[in-house]
Amino acid sequence: MKSIKITLTMAFAFALMLCAAGCGEQGGGDNAADIAFTNGLVYMADEAGDTAEAAAVKGDEIVYVGDAPGVEEFIGDNTRVVDLNGGMLVPGFIDSHQHPYGMTESLYTVQLYECETGQAYLDEVAKYYKENPDADKIVGVGFDTPIFNKISPTRETLDKITADIPIALFDSGEHACLLNTKALEKIGMMDKDYKPADGETVEKDADGVPTGWVMDSENTDVFLSDFSVEQLKEGLKEYQDMALSYGITTTFEDAPGVFENTIKAYQELEASDELKYRVSAYMRIAKGDDYDAQIEKLKKYKEENSDGLLRVDGAKIFIDGALEAETAYMAEPYVNDPKNSGVNMWEGATDELNELCKKLEAENLNYHFHAIGDAACTEALDAIEYAKKDAKKSRTRPAITHLQFVDKNDVQRWSDLDVTAAIQAFWAVYDEYYDQAIEYVGQERADQQYPIQSLFDADIRVASGSDFPVQTDRPLEAIQEGVLRAYPGEEDGPSLPPDSEKATVEEMLQSYTLNGAIANFREDEVGTIDVGKKADLVVLDKNLLEIDPSEIADTKELMTVFNGEIVYELQEDK
């Protein structure tokens, strides 16, 4: 039985697949590359879909892409020759929406992601309390609401574990939160005069007393926002190990509550040459903020972080919540609650949103929207259209992420306004959330979730993201799920309707490479395998264009190269 371990190393790896052959007679001198890749498919990921037979890297750049005989001139005595052995070389993967700082949460909170029952969530929290009797709070992250709701937990449920310290449990998307009484008291929600903030939902029982369930609340962030710079550095390095093992070399960062410390953590990691991926960071701006002050702060962040591995590109703006919390902003009411159309976080302040985006546009600050419901997507598009209508030379590339529901009448607007659709193919699968969607919005709308192929067909820039730590951020899994709309290993079962939204392998690859680079203003550096581009590359043991799509997730990431440096190699212990 084999056990596979992840290592970041410059040592030997996969002896049968990767060799360091010297060919000094054919090359050498100034032409000699540091690394050459041969005997496989080089997927360039350009718009033409070009491929090559070989590539070479010198320093931090790609210096050759072409046929096999041509690469021989770049091979010298000290060139490492990587035998692809029929596999594939692709550009480093780009995750266009996630939260790498969230790995810090996994180090300092109770992880609930792997629990399979509601009682298991409670057992995990009780276990943590028993093992940490001196804890001053308990924070758990990662429950699935369809699973937890089966046991109808309330604040009293958590009080049975302990009523002496706050307990705050967050769902996997951190939209829904279950608090015990002590936690509710800490943030003032047990006070009779407490008034929920805009967009915040505090569920109450028949007597008007909070049940413990709180949705889309900034007040609950207090339980997740006290990480130090050193703790964040520890978490980011842990994330980096994982990301590089998956071939991810460029990421998006949104760190609510700890943005300042997260930026400091990245700066220190880059200054000490410990940062081995590119980062596009976004700072949150919400309804009711001092918009001018926030924009000035954002401008300063961008000026100080504009030309390195870390870049601060713009603002993250929430339009709505999440379907599982019944706060996704829908054009039509929920069928299980006809009085509810979800939560519009800019209710009564559409003009403020439009003007905010116009100011961001004028300052060349990008803006990235969270929108789950179709009405939320429409509102985001309206704001983008308003902001760009007077812009003589717009240099922004707004994006909308999640887009679980999209109004078909809006699809052409995405293309006309050059808006990036930052999808999460991880969610476009058949599971318990599909059943929940049927309950909440009805069969017809449930069968139109997560459009992918229709976005590609409309010539929209589709970039892929994971929303990590909601789940793994491994691109190969998302690529397979985008093509099959089913979890790996469950391809023989039902897939998420409709079949017409299944994308092609090439489209999903493009969403993780070229499209991601353009969405993140990195296309001059990365995203394709071209001479002069930065050498961010991934070696796969299979050619994804030749294998059955059901085998994509089983493909191995053998090597990751970042800036010309081999930063990850797969090692197998037999």
**Cα 135 to Cα 49, 162, 165, distances in angstroms:** 55, 11, 8
In the predicted model, what is the mean pLDDT of residues 399-423? 96
On average, the pLDDT of the chain sits at 92
Say how far apart CA 288 and CA 346 lie, in whole Å.
Answer: 9
Say how far apart CA 35 and CA 57 lie, in whole Å.
Answer: 5
Q: Mind listing the pLDDT tens digit for each residue in 492-542?
A: 999 999 999 999 999 999 999 999 999 999 999 999 999 999 999 999 999
What does the pLDDT read at residue 30?
75
Q: What are phi and psi of 253, to 5 degrees?
A: -130, 130
Q: Mind listing the pLDDT tens digit for each residue in 68-122?
A: 999 999 999 999 999 999 999 999 999 999 999 999 988 888 999 889 999 999 9
> Residue 194 pLDDT more than 80?
yes
What does the pLDDT read at residue 233?
98
Say how far apart CA 496 and CA 543 lie, in whole Å.
Answer: 26
In the predicted model, what is the mean pLDDT of residues 297-312? 97
> Residue 19 pLDDT more than 90?
no
User: CB-side exposure of 97: number of CA atoms within 13 Å?
Assistant: 33
Say how far apart CA 2 and CA 571 lie, in whole Å.
Answer: 11
What does the pLDDT read at residue 9?
38
Structure tokens at 417: 């306004």
What does the pLDDT read at residue 21?
38
> Residue 332 pLDDT more than 80?
yes
Structure tokens at 86: 């029929």
Q: Mind listing the pLDDT tens digit for each residue in 423-478?
A: 999 999 999 999 999 999 999 999 999 999 999 999 999 999 999 998 889 999 99
> Residue 17 pLDDT more than 60?
no
- Residue spans per domain, the chain: 3-92+531-573, 110-223, 245-519
Residue % of the chain over a pLDDT of 70:
95
CATH class of 3-92+531-573: mainly beta
Highest average pLDDT, of 11-20, 87-96, 193-202, comes from 87-96
Confidence of residue 29 (pLDDT cuts 50, 70, 90): low
User: CB-side exposure of 153: number of CA atoms within 13 Å?
Assistant: 30
Say how far apart CA 350 and CA 354 lie, in whole Å.
Answer: 6
H or E element that contains 237: helix 229-245
> Residue 7 pLDDT more than 80?
no
What does the pLDDT read at residue 14?
41
What does the pLDDT read at residue 393?
84
> Residue 28 pLDDT more than 70?
no
- Residue whose entry in the numeric block shows the structure tokens 């070009």: 50
What does the pLDDT read at residue 287?
95
CATH 3.40.50.300 is held by the domain 245-519: no
CATH fold of 110-223, please? Diaminopimelate Epimerase; Chain A, domain 1 (3.10.310)
Residue % of the chain over a pLDDT of 90:
84
Confidence of residue 392 (pLDDT cuts 50, 70, 90): confident
Whether the CA torsion 403, 408, 414, 415 is positive or negative: it is positive
Q: What are phi and psi of 97, to 5 degrees?
A: -165, 110
Confidence of residue 223 (pLDDT cuts 50, 70, 90): confident
**Cα 292 to Cα 88, 205, 298, distances in angstroms:** 48, 40, 10
What does the pLDDT read at residue 470?
85
Cβ-based neighbours of 444, under 8 Å, separated by 6 or more: none
